[in-house]
Structure 1
């Protein structure tokens, strides 16, 4: 993949071509500064084939998921706690290994995010 993501104080998320330096796509929808951007491990199937998903975290206290092929609408929004988070500063997808009682090992995909007020949250 020869792309990079950026989040901005202008409330946008942008996808760039590394080789040319040209902007490929802009994603608008946040209502405050975007501090965190991440390629997600999710792929969605649509009428034009498979499409990658990116996500962004903002001071507006939301994490938004976007289809790279379309910036018309967000795919999904997670809202942080107004009292306990007060804005999203960072996010990361991680795989956690767990064992059940029979000692079987499974892997769970989780999204972790950090907030303005300090807590780290794990969604999975």
Structure 2
């Protein structure tokens, strides 16, 4: 009897929270216009900082990101397309992509949202 009384309110709570599970940014589609990072260069150099084990040496590799840059030059979504092979390095690149201010992409005199494909290299 107690199980039935608890399970209905619990099921209602779970159902209501299920709609909150997907963040709003994930629902926004990626812009159809795809450009290279050279077309929406960051306004300032990106600061990349990450931890690594000095005995293993500094990690190297290339991480490719997909960045939704809006008409104001701000990142709205960042997605990793290819890993550098080092989780901490990938996370540093993603964090830098989120923080960066980009030059807005202009088409026909108007700034538009774009999808940017950007390789990040560490040597």
Query: Which band: TM-score by shorter chain?
Result: under 0.3
Provide TM-score, normalisation by structure 1.
0.27
Q: Which has the larger radius of gyration?
A: 2
Higher helix share: 2
Higher strand share: 1
Q: Relative contact order (C-alpha < 8 Å, sep 6+): which is higher?
A: 2
